[in-house]
Structure 1
Amino acid sequence: MTKTKFEIFDALHRGDGPLILCNVWDGGSARMMRNLGAQAIATTSAGLAWALGMADGNKLPADLLLHAAATIVRAVPDLPVSIDMEAGYSDDPAAVADLARRIVATGVVGVNIEDGAGTPDLLAAKIQAIRAAVGPGLFINARTDVYLKGLAPAGERAAEVARRAQLYTAAGASGLFPAGVTDPNEIKYISSSIKVPLNVMARPGLLPAADLSKLGVKRLSAGSALPEYLWGRVAAIGGAFLQDGVSDPICADPMPYRDINALMAGVSA
């Protein structure tokens, strides 16, 4: 029997090594990652917002998120796609669940949803509402910002993540994403304390994927690292071109036009 994309995406979190995701921000970047061998596609909320000229941080209108989701699914029809829905763009679990249902209708098989500055109980209620609305197939990756936002004192963060993980998994989460954790001992502690796949995010000093696998990590995300790098490069060479009008730097080491166009040629209008 042929597996559904829901089943394929879940299985990718059960292998020996971590599922590595270079988070994308539009159909073109999704197409690029597919061409480079990505097994699945996931978005970066920051990169997606910036590509639309907006700030990250639960500010994206739902219609733009849904359009982006549909565009990315269309660009990579053979791969499972997961969408970062931040904190769900609402504190009302019913509204968050309705948005998740609309996201799934675009062909998406996974979502990230975060606690951010909200309470753990609120995220648990959102996860429970999503699960009730969409059923068992959707991979709900519960992101906690304990590390990114310093929501517990240093030395107590791993234990706080484990505590929140119990709430989120009981509510129906499929995976746990303590974004920002890098310490190997803390990663191992968290992975041994939870019953769902552990996701970590690329950060300076983070161990390579092979070593993370030994600590129990099942998913490694680039987060917003790629668009941050690209924005940095564009600012540097674009700023220089505006100042001096010298063409050579902005024309150096490109991916040729014909290659980019050929990559996108399989995407229908």
Structure 2
Amino acid sequence: MDQRAKFETFKALHAREGAFVLGNPWDAGSARVLAHLGFEALATTSAGYAFSVGRRDSFAGLSRDELLENARQIVDSCDLPVSADLEDGFGPAPDTCAETIRLAAGIGLVGGSIEDATGDPEVPIFDLGLAVARVQAAAEAARGLPFLLTARAENFLWGRADLGDTIARLQAFSEAGADVLYAPGLPDLAAIRTVCAEVDRPVNVVMGLSGPRYSVAELAGAGVRRISVGGSFARAAFGGLRRAAEEVLGAGTFGYADEAMSGRELTALMSDTRPPRRVSGPS
């Protein structure tokens, strides 16, 4: 499936009735597993990738080049539409956000998100005017490309529990050209339902993190169109690793292996593409 076909598939998922779930792989191998298990689309997770390479999930933790290379490997690993966590666009300037979108589309991604968080604890959220200008620049960069832009209002992740301002931001992002809207950290199903009722674009909600957890059916009933799991699949994998290690170190037993995927099954899911053989000496 080429990029345009993946984009059309991704767009159609947002238009159909009910809610669909994005799997969030952190590398090419986890992407292949999730694709095999039946997810219809994937999205990268900056947190999951950061943990996998021994970094913290933070604005300064990973560069744009690193995150886009990770995304490219995920895109190339499977035949599913892939969207990307593009954090704050990798810079405050609207032009930087626009360039990030062009680069993301250039590696085969069919979607990506720009958030309004600054990374500065003293001033955690961009002023509304600048936040809108950043989304508008990203939307203009995406115009004509096979790319769905998600705009994120981060108030609730940064101690600003203001539902009215969050909705106003999402509405402004929609007017600026965003295709999907996302306010992570909403406190309950009532708030989610209110957001969905007050905006005119598909809404993404993240599950699997801290706070209340609702089923796919409950979220769909509230008006949600897309559900992601953020870094929670990666954390679940690390949780399995910790349990296995603690069993070996504490009990001296190896029962964890009963729940592990078999080497044969994983081998069947992975690529058999090999790098070119290195030749030493004169040719």
The answer to whether the superposition gives a TM-score over 0.5 is: yes
CA distance in 2 between counterparts of 1:150 and 1:240 reads 38
Instruction: Tell whether 2:203 aligns with 1:201.
Output: no
Equivalent position of 1:149 in the other structure: 158
Which amino acid in 2 is paired with 1:147?
F
TM-superposed CA distance for 1:265, in Å, is: 3.1
Match of 2:267 among 261, 265, 269: 261
Inter-partner Cα distance in structure 2 for 1:89 and 1:184: 31
Larger CA deviation: 54-63 vs 32-41: 54-63
Specify the alignment match of 2:120 in structure 1: none
1:163 maps onto 2:168 in alignment: yes
Q: Which residue of 2 aligns with 1:220?
A: 227
Q: Describe the SS at the equivalent of 1:87.
A: coil
- SS for the counterpart of 1:13 is helix
- The C-alpha deviation readout for 1:74-133, integer Å capped at 9, x for no partner, is 101x21110101111211221221122111111000001211223133332222112222
Once the two structures are superposed, residues 39-69 of structure 1 have per-residue CA deviations (whole angstroms, 9 ceiling, x without a partner) of 1011111001111222112231122112112
Question: Residue 177 in 1 paired to residue 182 in 2?
Answer: yes
Cα separation, 2, equivalents of 1:112 and 1:212: 21
d(CA) in 1 for partners of 2:132, 2:272: 40
Q: How far apart, in 2, do the equivalents of 1:217 and 1:15 lie?
A: 11
Q: Is the 8 A contact 2:151 2:173 kept in 1?
A: yes
- Distance of aligned partners of 1:268 and 1:98 in 2 relative to their CA distance in 1, 3 Å threshold: farther
Which aligned pairs between 1:67-78 and structure 2 lie closer than 5 A? 67-76=69-78, 78=79
Q: In structure 2, how many angstroms separate the alpha carbons of the residues matched to 1:81 and 1:101? A: 15
CA RMSD of aligned residues (A): 2.0
Task: Tell me, in whole angstroms, the C-alpha distance in 2 between the residues paired with 1:267 and 1:151.
Answer: 48
Contact preservation (8 Å) 1:115, 1:144:
yes
Aligned match of 2:132 in 116, 120, 124? 124
Match for 1:257: what amino acid? G
**CA radius of gyration, larger in:** 2
- For 1:227-266, list aligned pairs within 5 A: 227-241=234-248, 243=249, 246-265=252-271
Q: Give the aligned residue type for 1:48.
A: Y
**Contact map agreement 1:127 1:173 (CA 8 A) in 2:** yes
For the residue of structure 2 that corresponds to 1:140, the secondary structure is strand
On the 8 A contact 1:158/1:189 being kept in 2, the answer is: no
Residue equivalent to 2:105: 104
Q: Distance between the aligned counterparts of 1:229 and 1:52, measured in 2?
A: 16
Percent identity over paired residues:
33
Number of matched pairs: 262
Of stretches 162-171 and 201-210 in structure 1, the one that deviates more from structure 2 is: 201-210
Runs (5+) with no aligned partner, structure 2:
118-123, 276-283
Aligned AA for 2:75? V
SS of aligned partner of 1:200 = strand
Q: Is the 8 A contact 2:6 2:81 kept in 1?
A: yes
Unpaired segments of 5 or more residues in structure 1? none
For the structure 1 residues 52 and 122, does the alpha-carbon distance in structure 2 shift closer, same or farther, using more than 3 Å as the test?
A: farther
Q: TM-score, normalised by structure 2?
A: 0.85
Deviations 1:190-230 (A, max 9, x none): 11100000111114432211121121100111111111222
Pairs within 5 Å for 1:35-54: 35-54=36-55
The 8 Å contact of residues 21 and 228 in structure 2, kept in 1 or not, is answered as yes
Aligned in 2, Cα 1:208/1:89: closer, same or farther, shift over 3 Å? Answer: same
